[in-house]
Every structure is written in structure tokens, then in C-alpha cells.
Structure 1
């Protein structure tokens, strides 16, 4: 990945090799801090998708028939290639605008996804069923879905791609990956280089950077058995409509408007540390960031003071410089949206306690209070380092406000009495909930996903991957041919 002329330059990855896209179109790859173009990726169109689908279909039957040991070995070899890759860390930092710690997390988490998926390959995939028919053998077995299309986002491109790629391949599927146009390298072509170095069989994993044309063709293609999408709720709805009309298996990991609840017995210093990480980590650009801080009045003044102090102390700048805590917002469109949400809330009476300014795409961590509960800053996903705080009187009001959202991804509760905090957590309607910890959490063995407008389909992680990337098939065998009256 540190080569002057990497094999993926200007290319897509189809049938085990890097090649130019059919129309020769390309995507510039920009350093998000300097806006410098430091690479170029190929940009696939619908014809490239068709070629890649045909290659995947041809490869899938053989891949599924291979011993699990071979599938597991490929995944372990890819994990080893990633651990040894020169330059992947800097590539993530430049392409996503993240600090080194976030890039290191992505690499370690992606290695974890690969190694856990290698273990998944040997899991039992069937069970013998009781039957009321003499001489019949009855079994429920899991079979691969077939060809899985993964459409992934720009914020955690490596790990969110690997969360689909690794378990899907482990269970005998083939994968077509379309990374975000913002991150076609760390989210796609650099991953393909890892598979090439590991000697993966041609056609089992292919990468098609591109825009809407390629994405739509993947969703509509009759030979794509499953679409896995991670991204915004608005785009997820469009995919659900299209895939639903085709009765195609779909898994959507969508946005969140996540609540951090601070109870009246919380240590405000510790709670503010959790709150700052929940809202400001990677510029707030994650679906599991905290977009709503709901704080009991008894500790509100102290919490606001501590959270404001932490926000003001964070250094914002080029992630490649030592000591930087936050990098840039990913692009101008996201910056404009963040500014609009904040400015609209302030016009409606909200007060900024710290931050609220930006130098280009470098946005200061912001704490804001007195936000109108109908304001978009409170009701929508923010995707910027902004922490809106609401003050409530007691647990009942906190729970009601936390649950007053169409989203249902993640929430957190902070309190000294762990039993009480856990009881509050049980009442929250999100699909994931954490007690005395930040909202951004992810582990390869944990079922990750949302309910409501935060997701549609299954879960990713651990045993949930068996449900996600296989179909159940009932198979019977009669010891002698059956007889019927006609």
C-alpha cells in the first residue's frame, strides 16, 4: 500500500485482478485535511457490475463446496496480510480525516472480524429434526445465500466492509463490495489488494467503486441474492423499496439519534468523559454517536461545566500532526448540514456553551443547551461534533424523552447505582444499550444493528452472522421411495 504506483490505481477489482473499468471513468481520492488528490480509483458502471456478477456466480458454487478449512485459511491469510500491510494506517487517516487512534482501531477490529469469521466457518450448520414418518431422515440445514452485495459508508470503511465480507465468505457466499466514493481505497481497493496477496480464489471477492449507477445495478440485479447496506436512513428507504419489489433479502444498518442518559447519582466528571467521547469521537461522524444528552437536573450544572471543559480542551486540526484530537468533517456537504442544524437551533433559542465555530471543515466540539425539542438538531442524526443537552426532572421524564424518537440504534445510561441504571437501561427501546459506558461500542461477537428507522433485517456479529448470511433449508431423505394414492 506504500507503492508509488499501486496496482489498484485507476482500477476496479474483478475476477481476481485489478483492471480499468469498462468506460474508463475514475474517482479522485482526496486527503480530507488538505483536499490534495493523492490517488485515483476506477469508477464502475452497470456493465462492470454485470461482469462482476457473472464472475461471482461462477465462483460461488465451488467456494461453498470447499472444505471449511480452506475458507478459514483464506480469511486468516487476509488477516495476516492486513497486520503486515505497510501504509494502511496512514491511508485511513488521509482518506477519512481520522486521527491515528481511530485508524488503529479500524485495523485491529477488521483483523478481529477476519479471525472470528475464520472460526465461524467451522460452526455446525444443521440439526437433525424429529419426524413422524417412519424411515425418513429430516434435517434443517443452513446454506449460503449466494451472492452478497455490500454497499458501505465512508466513516469506518475498513471495518464496516469487513463486518460483511468476512462472515459472508466464511459461510460460503461470494461478495461484491461497492465502497463509498469518499473512501474507495481503504474501503475497497486496498482491501482487494489484501485478498490478492493472500491468494484468494478469483471471483469470491470483488470491488466496484462507483456512484449511484453501480449501486442501483447491484440492488436491481436479479442474480444478486442479498443486499447489505450501511448508511443513511433516507438511502436505506430507497434500497428497501427497490429490493422489496424484487423480494430480495435485504439487511440495512441505518442512522441513529442516540440518547445518553445521566442519572441524578452520576459522577459528573466520569459522565462528562463518557459524554464527550460519545459525541465528539471521530468528529461525531458515526451512527452510534450520542446526539442527545439527557441529564437529571440534580447534576445538570456540574455535568454541563465538565462537558464544556472537556470539549474546549480538544485540539482540532490535521490528524497527521501529533496531539490532534479531531480532524475535519468529511466534505463540504456534511459541513453545510452541520452548520444549518446548529444555526437553526440557535435561531430557535438554543445557547452555545462552547464551540459552534469552524475553520473550513475543521469544526470545534460544541455543547449546546435549550434546544427546542422539535428542532432538527434534536430530532435528526447530526454527524458532527455537536452535543445537544436537555435537562429533565427524574427518571420517568428521562426515559420518555430518550424513547421519543423513530430511531432505535443505541443508548447509554450513566449512574452510580449500577442496578438502578440497569433497570433504566431495560426500559429504553434501542437495540443496543450500555450502562456506564459510551454509545460507540462494537465487538465482532456482539449482535450489531438497530430497530425502527435505524435498521431493517438482521444483525451482524457472532452467532447473528449465521442468520444474516445463510438461508434455512429443510431436507428429508426416505430410506425407500414413498408411496401415495395417486
Structure 2
């Protein structure tokens, strides 16, 4: 079994080495504050080394036999399966995720790698006709070259792999910068997996650093042609601006404020279970989490009663305990920001029918009723176990409430009339929506992404293949062409 916690260095040019910065960074367990590791941050020279390495090795990787490329991904899946328990323990210690969350995340990762393993065999092309006699037009699908990837702290193993594996599968080199709070699960663990699977050394590089050390250079560097970012809307807007200024394609998966709708004909027990899962999985630290529950007045009281009962039974505490459902938030700053929003919600007139205590980085569930769309707790993304419930009387109000948001990532509608649900779904301003299910869904072959402040572009399946490839037109004039002058 690999000791992933020992991977507290940079992975550059196929070597494990310290960063060149004088800045020292600490990696802490968010539950008990224990220091997992310290490491020296990467600086601008390390960043350049990483990009140049990816660029140099990519050219050989793109020429490799696609069957050989596919075998690397197959070996990566096998390596994860062999080290499953150690990976679970690492996710629990570094992220504060529960065992349930860790198992869920590993399943997402392996499915994503399996999908990416098909990409080398999909780098196809077309022969197209021409209005010019004796001309053959060939259009080839090509790797973009090098992809820069920045991942967040909440689902770092998966949200890094969501771009890393498809980018590699499409023949690209990669430089990955994980979040400074999750350098192992979001970065070095992925490097170790692919190193063990036989990926050519130097093709995948992982740098762990802070923005204060490298500024915008991760995006501005001349080597990467595409940037894939998952994180906050504020940072995503800045990255999109910098990428656009440098004529780089940006794929941005940003924040969310998803609505879960319960209509009057819904299966209430199912809706309650879906709503609890959609809010409290990983302490609500998921971009797709349901921040707002929009419930029809005819079933409002029944729903709230059953929802509160189920939420009140959720266990909070040590994520190592297999019975724990709600563990810690990632850091004190997230905790304080959540406390401030809770207090603001109360001042605005929302009713906290459930209000747990705060201990360390653990916030016990908070359930607000009497919430109106104009309140901050209904407008802001809550990356915590806090939920707002709103009452509506008809479909017009459902749409008005659901669409009254700057975000548009995910959503859900519960109804026994699935066609009614589908018609409402078409009118909701969101990139994804699920009928009679939760808001948290991500499948390796289905388009994933949001609208408005929730991001740009789509990933997964053919959409990831398009995101990390470009097209080259090569024409062949088989017989001499007659030009208008010579």
C-alpha cells in the first residue's frame, strides 16, 4: 500500500522534488488541526519547468499507439483498486470527508478514468468534399497540446481527475495545481497513480503553491493552450478574463445555488430523502448541493415536518467514525463565513427551525423556513450544512423563485407527472436538472456544466473530448489546379 501522505513535494519533469520557493506551506487535518505534512511551495521557475516538461513529452505521447495509451488508464484503475483503503483514509484525513463521501468520490474517479481510456481510440478525423476539382479535404482531431488545470478543495480527487484523465486521454500534456488545502488528494496522489501506471515521465506535472507565489502566471504562461478551472465564481471570472486576454480557451466550472423543487403531487418521502442527500453530503461543500428547497404550499407542512425529523437524526463529528454523516468544513474561514450568513438570515426574518451548535470546524445542520428569494441566504452560495425552504403556490412561482439567482448549475424537480416536470425543467435557468432525484449528479458520459455565474463550457464524454482537442484541416490537391493568374 502506498503512503500517500508522504507525497508532500512537487512532481515536475517526472521527479519528486522540493519547491524552489522559500515559502513553507502546511497541510492540516480540518477535523483536529493535526499537521499532515509541510512542504516547500513551487515558484515561477518550477512552474516554467513543469510547463516545458509537459510540452516536450506531449509530442511523443501524442504519437503513441492508442492501445498502449489506453493500457495506462486501465493500470491506473487497477492501482486505485489495490490502494482503495489507503485512498479512503487520505480523503478522510486531508479533506475531512466521511467514509461515505470517500467511497462516493473514488467511484466517480474510477468511472472517469474508464471513460478517458476510450479517448485514444476516438482521435479520429473526416474526409470532406470540396467545390474545387480533385481536392481532398482531411480534418484531423488533434490534442490542444498542454492543458493547465486548477482544482478546488471540496472533491479534489475527482475534480482534478475530471480534467486530468480526459486531457491525457486526448493526447495532451498536463500541469495540475491543486488547492493549497488539498495538495495530496487533489494533486500528488494523482501523480503517483499515473506514475505507477506507466505514464511517460514529465507528461503530467503537479505543482503545489499559492497564488501569492506565482500570480497569474499559471494562466499567462505561453505553453498551455487551454485552462480548466473548478472553484469559486469570483476567481473563475478572473481566470476567464486572463485566459481570454491571452487567447487561451477556458473551461470554467464555478459556484452554484441549486434549487430542489417539490410539487404538490410529489412522493414526499422520496423528495425528503433526495433533499437531505442533496444538501448535507460532504457538509454541503459541493457545487451542485441544493441550497434552496422550493415546496408547494399544499405539501409544505408535511415536507418540512419530515425533513426536519430526518435532518435532526444526522450524526456529526469525527469523519473517521463510519457512522458520521457531517464532518468538518475545510477551514476556520469557511466556518466564520457560514456563521455570518446564518446570523444575517435570522436578522432578515428567516426562522431557524433547526439550529445546531458549532464546534471547531464542525457546523451542525441549520434549517431555515420563512425564507424569501431576496434574502442573502437564498441568493448566496452556501458551502455548508445550511438550507433555506421557501413556499410557493403555483408553477409560475416555482419558476420565478428558482430563476431568481445569479447561478445556474444544477437542480431537481419532484413530481409524479414527469412530463410536467420536464417542461418546468426546460424553463429553469440551469445547466443540469434532474426529475425525481437529487441535485448531486455527475456521470462520465453526460454533459456537465452550468450557465450564468456557474461557468462556461461542458465536460464529460464527447464534450471533454471536444474541450481538450482541436481540429486541423489538411487539403490535398491531387491534380494541378488552374489559378486565375500565374
**So what's the TM-score if we normalise by structure 1?**
0.96
Is the partner of 1:421 in helix, strand or coil?
Answer: helix
Comparing 168-177 with 192-201, greater Cα deviation is found at 192-201
Q: Specify the alignment match of 1:295 in structure 2.
A: 295
Corresponding position of 2:15 = 17
1:312–1:355: 8 Å Cα contact kept in structure 2? no
Give distance in 2, aligned partners of 1:482 and 1:145.
Answer: 32
Residue matched to 2:205: 206
Superimposed CA distance per residue, residues 180-229 of structure 1 (whole angstroms, 9 cap, x where no aligned partner): 00100011111111122122111110100111033621111011111100
Output the CA distance in 1 between the equivalents of 2:286 and 2:5.
Answer: 32
Partner of 2:173: 174
8 Å Cα contact 2:371-2:378 kept in structure 1: yes
For the pair 1:129 / 2:128, whether they are aligned, the reply is yes
Q: Partner residue of 1:72? A: 70
- Matched with 2:229 is 229
- 1:74-122 deviations in whole A, cap 9, x for unaligned? 1111121111125111001111111101111111211111111111220
For 2:418, the equivalent position in structure 1 comes to 418
Q: 1:448 to 1:42 in 2, by over 3 A?
A: farther
The answer on 1:263 being equivalent to 2:263 is yes
SS in 2 for 1:336: helix
What's the CA shift string for 1:118-177, capped at 9, x where partnerless?
112201521111211111111222111111000000100111111101111111101100
Q: Does 1:35 align with 2:33?
A: yes
Query: 1:28, 1:37 within 8 Å by CA — same for their partners in 2?
Result: yes
Distance across 2 between alignment mates of 1:333 and 1:4 = 26
SS of 1:137's partner is: strand
Alignment partner, residue 220 of structure 2: 220
In structure 1, the partner of 2:44 is 46
1:165, 1:248 → 2: CA distance? 17
- 1:352 equivalenced with 2:352 (yes/no): yes
Equivalent positions of 1:429-448 (< 5 A) are 429-448=429-448
Task: Identify the residue that residue 153 of structure 1 maps to in structure 2.
Answer: 152
1:397 aligns to 2:391 (yes or no): no
Structure-2 change in CA distance of 1:215 and 1:268 (3 Å) = farther
Structure 1 residue 2, shift from structure 2 partner: 4.7
What is the rounded CA distance, in whole Å, between the counterparts of 2:305 and 2:215 in structure 1? 46
Moved more, 214-223 or 54-63: 214-223
Cα shift at 1:482: 3.6
Could you list the runs of 5+ residues in structure 2 that have no partner in the other structure? none
User: For residues 309 and 329 of structure 2, what CA distance do their matches in structure 1 show?
Assistant: 22
* Counterpart contact for 1:444–1:461, Cα < 8 Å: yes
**Contact 1:319/1:327, CA 8 A, preserved across alignment:** yes
Could you tell me how far 1:402 is from its partner in structure 2? 0.5
How many residues are treated as equivalent by the alignment? 483
**3-state SS in 1 of match to 2:201:** coil
Give the direction of change, closer, same or farther, for the CA distance of 1:287–1:215 in structure 2 (3 Å limit): farther
> Is contact 1:307-1:367 (8 Å) kept?
no
Partner residue of 2:365?
A: 365
Structure 1 residue 41 displacement after superposition? 3.7
Cα displacement (A) at 1:290: 0.5
* TM-score, with structure 2 as normaliser: 0.96
The 3-state SS of whatever aligns with 1:432 is: coil
Quick one: distance in 2 between partners of 1:248 and 1:19? 29
Q: What is the aligned partner in structure 2 of residue 379 from structure 1?
A: 379
Cα drift, residue 446 of structure 1: 1.2
Q: Give the SS at the match of 2:298.
A: helix
- Cα deviation code 1:407-464 (max 9, x no counterpart): 11111000122222222222212110100000000111111111111012x2111111
* Alignment check: 8 A CA contact 2:149 2:163 kept: yes
**Residues 1:4 and 1:44: Cα distance change in structure 2 (over 3 Å):** closer
SS of residue in 2 equivalent to 1:446: coil
Distance 2:2 2:130 in 1: 59
Q: CA deviation at 1:374?
A: 2.1
Q: CA deviation at 1:26?
A: 3.5
Q: Which runs of 5+ in 1 are unaligned?
A: none
Instruction: Please tell me the root mean square deviation across aligned C-alpha atoms, in Å.
Output: 1.5
Are the equivalent residues in 2 in contact too, given 1:258–1:409 (CA < 8 A)? Answer: yes
* CA shift digits 1:349-406 (9 cap, x unpaired): 1110112431221111121012242222111111001110010111111111111212
Out of 55, 58, 61, which is 2:56 matched to?
58
- Counterpart CA distance in 1 for 2:4 and 2:96 is 21
Deviation at 1:4, TM superposition (A): 9.3
